[in-house]
Chains A and B, each alone.
Chain A
């Protein structure tokens, strides 16, 4: 499987979750693990450019596919991805635990709706939980991300 543009061998153990494989085997700890049953959205990554829950996939299922994690959105030293930049500008994070999942979900949302309505923003982030409850800033960050992406 390709992870952030680099080819990796799949794990030997088929029961290894994609989320655990990314974190423990590849050291990509930007993908966070919260509930591990698909509710919190923290572990969201892109599979062939589409956001999915990495805790609800076996790593071996990603073989032959392209996985993008939060680390792959903007390489070190490069400008932030527009969605990351927008979360920074609009204070779309507090403790930051949920942020990688939100950012990956929003990348998918903007691919589907480049100019989302407020309702589409709410629905697009409804699958991610922020226990700091910073949703008002996150909504503003999504709107800002759309602006930055459309520039």
Chain B
């Protein structure tokens, strides 16, 4: 099995990466590759250009900003999991990262990559949404901040433009109590359904085209999950109610 043909670019600065994204047609950013590489291997994605950002040095910082934690594009999930700063300022993020696949995957996968990929069953978009975080998108044109509630547009779709690079995700300090609960067939599998509590805010994942905010007193209102071999829509709604009750029991 091998990926379809593409032209490979390995810029060494953020500016070079942005100018490549601005000039190339049909380019895809390769960060940790733990979602993109399977799509390439299965030829579900056939981009003309791959812009590999892994050669950009100093692009993996995890630092304190505006009372929260900023995670740069190349910070691996394993580094976020082990970060003392994340444990102190945003333990909800650490707890969520531990639910992402397995450690060997997290050694390579990035937090920003998970957010840009916007898998509906992914934990990290829901965490960003529940906390009211944001991302910084940069292009050769400009830099802008996109709040989480304007970022997720659909299944694997975000408000990022084709020439924009997600350079940083910002997670506010996680309030107390915060919690993430999910149900999956095995630890590390994609969640059948999951909930994130940040104070009195609730976000759901795995039950809609994107992570969504919900009313803790009526979490399934307006939610119409799809069914598959793993779980029926009714079971997913049941999970939302049960997991919300668990998250708000504390």
Contacts and interface: CB of A to CB of B under 8 A. Distances in A.
B67 to A, nearest CB: 30
A53 B6 contact: no
B105 interface: yes
A74 interface: no
Given A16-B2, A36-B1, A57-B108, A108 B41 contact: no
Interface residues of B, number: 30
Interface in A48-77: 50-53, 55-58, 60-61
B8 A127 contact: no
Interface size grouping (class) on chain A: 20 to 34
Interface stretch (B87-95, B96-104, B158-166, B222-230): B96-104
Contacts of A47: 107-108
A17 B54 contact: no
Contacts, number: 87
B7 to A, nearest CB: 8
Chain A facing B: main interface SS: mixed
A38 B38 contact: yes
Given A16-B2, A56-B108, A108-B104, A127 B34 contact: no
6 contacts: A15-B5, A36-B1, A38-B37, A41-B102, A58-B8, A105-B104
Interface of A: 14-17, 20, 36-38, 41, 44, 47, 50-53, 55-58, 60-61, 105, 108-109, 112, 123-124, 126-127
Interface of B: 1-6, 8, 10, 30, 33-34, 37-38, 40-42, 50, 52, 54, 78, 101-105, 107-108, 186-188
